[in-house]
Structure 1
Amino acid sequence: MSSDLATVRNVAFVGHSAAGKTSLVDALAHALGATDRKGAVADKTSLCDTEPEEQEKGHTFQLKLVHASKNGLCWNLLDTPGYPEFGADALSAMFACELVVGVASCAGHVSYNLRNKLEQAKSLGRARAILVTHVDADNASFDELVAEMQRKIGEECVPLCVPDKSGKGFSKVLGVRGGAWKKPLLDRVMDACEDEAALLEYLEKDDLSVEAFKRHVPRALAKGTLVPILPVHPLTGAGLEEVLAFLRDFAPSPANTRFVAGEKVISCDSPGPLLGVVFNVKSDPHVGKICLARILRGTLKASDLIGPGRGEKIGGLFYPVGGKNKVTVDSASAGELVAFSKVEHVAWSQTFTQTGTDPAPLEMPRNPPPMLALAVQPKSRNDEQKIGPALAKLASEDPTFHVHHEPHTHELVIQGMSDLHLQVMEQRLKRRFGVEVTTSLPRIAYRETITKSSEGHHRHKKQSGGRGQFGECYLRLKPASKDAGIVFQDAVVGGSIPRNLIPAVEKGIREIAAQGILTHSQVVDVEVAVYDGKYHDVDSDEASFKRAGAVAFRDGFAKAGPVLTEPVMSVEIRVPTEHAGAIFSDLTSHRRGTVHNQESEHDGHVTVIQAHVPLSMMLTYHRDLKSQTAGEGTYTMKPDHYARVPGSEQEKIIAQAGRKHAEDE
Structure 2
Amino acid sequence: MSRTRESARAIARAIRWKRAWTSMGDGVASARDGCRGVDGFGGTTPGRTTARTTARTTAWTTRMKSSDAADARALRRNIGISAHIDSGKTTLTERILFYTGRIDSIHEVRGKDGVGAKMDSMELEREKGITIQSAATYCQWKDSPINIIDTPGHVDFTIEVERALRVLDGAILVLCSVGGVQSQSITVDRQMRRYGVPRLCFVNKCDRAGANPWKVLSQVREKLKLNAAAVQIPIGLEDQHDGVVDLVRMKAVTFSGSNGETLTWADVPDNLKELAKEKRKVLIESVAEVDEELGDLFLMGEQPTEEQLKAAIRRATVSNQFAPLFMGSAYKNRGVQLLLDGVTDYLPNPSEVKNIALDLKNNEEPVVVADDPSAPLVGLAFKLEEGRFGQLTYLRIYQGKIEKGMTITNTSSGKKLKVPRLVRMHSDDMEDVSSASAGDIVALFGVDCKSGDTFTDGTVNLAMTSMRVPEPVMSLAVSPKSKSDGGNFSKALQRFQKEDPTFRVHMDEESGQTIISGMGELHLDIYVERMRREYKVDCEVGQPRVNYREAITKRADFDYLHKKQSGGQGQYGKVVGYIEPLQESTDVIFENGIVGNAIAPSFIQAVEKGFKEAAQTGGLLGYPVEGIRVVLTDGQSHAVDSSELAFKLAALAAFRQAFHSANPKLLEPIMKVDVTIPSEFQGTVIGNVNRRKGTINDTSADGDDVIVSANVPLSQMFGYSTELRSMTQGKGEFTMEYSAHQAVTQDVQAELINSMGKK
Q: 1:414, CA displacement in angstroms?
A: 0.5
Does the C-alpha gap of structure 1 residues 577 and 330 become closer, same or farther in structure 2, counting only changes over 3 Å?
A: closer
Residue 645 of structure 1 and its aligned partner are, at CA, apart by 8.6
Contact 1:156 1:227 (C-alpha < 8 Å) held by counterparts: yes
Aligned to 1:236: 332
Taking the aligned partners of 1:2 and 1:375, their CA distance within structure 2 comes to 55
Distance change >3 Å, CA 577–CA 170, structure 1 → 2: closer
Structure 1 residue aligned with 2:424, among 315, 319, 324?
319
- Aligned residue-pair number: 542
Which residue of the partner structure matches residue 414 of structure 1?
516
Contact 1:10/1:97 (CA < 8 Å) preserved in 2? yes
Per-residue CA deviations over 1:442-500 (Å, capped at 9, x if unaligned) read: 6789999xxxxxxxxxxxxxxxxxxxxxxxxxxxxxxx97697x96756xxxxxxx979
Take 1:563 and 1:409, find their aligned partners in 2: how far apart are those partners?
27
Partner of 2:537: 435
Q: Which residue of 1 aligns with 2:82?
A: 14
Q: Which amino acid aligns with 1:397?
A: E
Alignment deviations for residues 259-290 of structure 1 (CA, whole Å, 9 cap, x no partner): 22222233333684100001211222x23221
Could you say which residue in structure 2 is the equivalent of 1:556?
Answer: none
| 1:277 corresponds to 2:380 | yes
**Cα distance per residue 1:234-279 (max 9 Å; x no partner):** 2332212211221122221111212222222333336841000012
C-alpha distance 402-126 of structure 1, shift in aligned 2 (>3 A): same
Letter in 2 for 1:290: L
TM superposition score normalised by structure 1 = 0.71
Greater mean alpha carbon deviation, residues 29-38 or residues 84-93? 29-38
Residue identity in the other structure for 2:279 = W
Q: Which runs of 5+ in 1 are unaligned?
A: 449-479, 491-497, 504-515, 525-561, 599-604, 658-665
For residues 440 and 391 of structure 1, the distance between their equivalents in structure 2, rounded to whole angstroms, comes to: 16
CA distance in 2, matches of 1:108, 1:397: 32
Listed as ranges, the matches of 1:38-437 within 5 Å are 38-41=106-109, 42=111, 43=113, 44-154=115-225, 156-176=227-247, 177=250, 178-195=276-293, 198-262=294-358, 263-269=365-371, 272-284=375-387, 286-306=388-408, 307=410, 308-324=413-429, 326-344=430-448, 346-355=449-458, 358-360=461-463, 362-437=464-539
Contact 2:206 2:329 in 1 (8 A): yes
With over 3 angstroms needed to count, the CA separation of the structure-2 counterparts of 1:57 and 1:241, relative to structure 1, is same
Quickly say closer, same or farther: Cα 1:139–1:651, change in 2 above 3 A: same
Amino acid across the alignment from 1:17? I
1:207-256, Cα deviation, whole Å (9 max, x unpaired) = 21111112111111123332111112223322122112211222211112
Q: In structure 1, what is the equivalent of residue 52 of structure 2?
A: none
**Paired residue secondary structure (1:179):** helix
**623-632 or 228-237, larger mean C-alpha shift:** 623-632
Alpha-carbon distance between aligned partners in 1 of 2:141 and 2:305, rounded to the nearest angstrom:
28
Aligned partner letter, 1:221 = T
1:231–1:239 CA contact under 8 A, matched in 2: yes
Cα offsets for 1:355-398 (capped at 9, x unmatched): 576433x2233121110111111111112233223201111111
Identify the residue that residue 613 of structure 2 maps to in structure 1. none
**AA at the equivalent of 1:184:** V
Distance 1:441 1:83 in 2: 23
Distance in 2 between residues matched to 1:623 and 1:45, nearest whole Å: 28
Q: 1:384 aligns to what SS in structure 2?
A: helix
Contact 2:77/2:348 (8 A) holds in 1: yes
> Equivalents in 2 of 1:445, 1:120: separation in Å?
25
Higher relative CO (CA 8 A, sep ≥ 6), structure 1 or 2? 1
Deviates more, 1:73-82 or 1:31-40: 31-40
Offset, 1:646: 5.4
Cα deviation for residue 55 of structure 1 reads: 1.1
On the 8 A contact 2:548/2:669 being kept in 1, the answer is no
Query: CA distance change for structure 1 residues 620 and 278 in 2, over 3 Å: closer, same or farther?
Result: farther
Note if contact 1:564-1:645 (Cα within 8 Å) is conserved in structure 2.
no
**Structure 1 residue 648 displacement after superposition:** 5.8
Shift, 1:436, TM fit: 2.0
Q: Provide closer, same or farther for how the CA distance between residues 587 and 430 of structure 1 changes in structure 2, counting only shifts above 3 A.
A: closer
SS in 2 for 1:631: strand
TM-score by length of structure 2 reads 0.63
Q: Deviations over 1:598-647 (max 9, x none)?
A: 9xxxxxx99998xxx9xxx7445576699799635521557999x99955
User: CA, structure 1 residues 266+644, in 2 after alignment: closer, same or farther (shift >3 Å)?
Assistant: farther
**Identity percentage over the alignment?**
23
Deviates most, 19-28 or 562-571: 562-571
Report deviation, 1:590: 7.7
1:403/1:77 Cα in 2 relative to 1: closer, same or farther (>3 Å)? same
Q: CA RMSD in A?
A: 4.5
Q: Is residue 257–residue 267 contact of structure 1 (8 Å, CA) maintained in 2?
A: no
Which amino acid in structure 1 is aligned with residue 472 of structure 2? P
2-structure distance, mates of 1:442, 1:577: 22
Are the equivalent residues in 1 in contact too, given 2:96–2:337 (CA < 8 A)?
Answer: no
Post-superposition CA distance 1:51-108 (Å, at most 9, x none):
0110111111111111113433211111111111111111211121121111112232
8 Å CA contact 2:548, 2:668 repeated in 1 = no
